[in-house]
Amino acid sequence: MFYRRYAPKCGICSQPITPEKGSTETIRIVSMDKSFHPECYKCEDCGTSLAKKGDQDGDKCYPLDDHLLCRRCNTARIRSLTKANSINFDFSLRSRTTVT
């Protein structure tokens, strides 16, 4: 009852982020000042999980206008917004995600 009432809500599904059955530890991801279930934390365009622990840039979150995106989808959106053919744009991005 305590967890359901006071737990942070997921920024995607709006459900409380509570410990799994048999555990007292809550796993959540904080990004863009919102909390997410690990299974809800995925690219909005291609569905790639952003909760994976890995060294590949595509596995990290590159937010754009309050949207969760992988690097590939972020780059594609920026290119479509800036007409990359005529604008010289620096695509060097860094991840901004904290796992707590």
Q: Which residue has the higher pLDDT, 3 or 14?
A: 14
Q: How far apart are the first and last CA of the chain?
A: 22
Indicate the pTM of the whole model: 0.71
Rounded Cα distance between 46 and 31, Å, is 18
CA–CA–CA angle 35, 65, 80 (5° rounding):
135
Q: In this model, does residue 21 exceed pLDDT 90?
A: no
What's the whole-number mean pLDDT along residues 76-82? 88
Average pLDDT rounded to a whole number, residues 21-29: 88
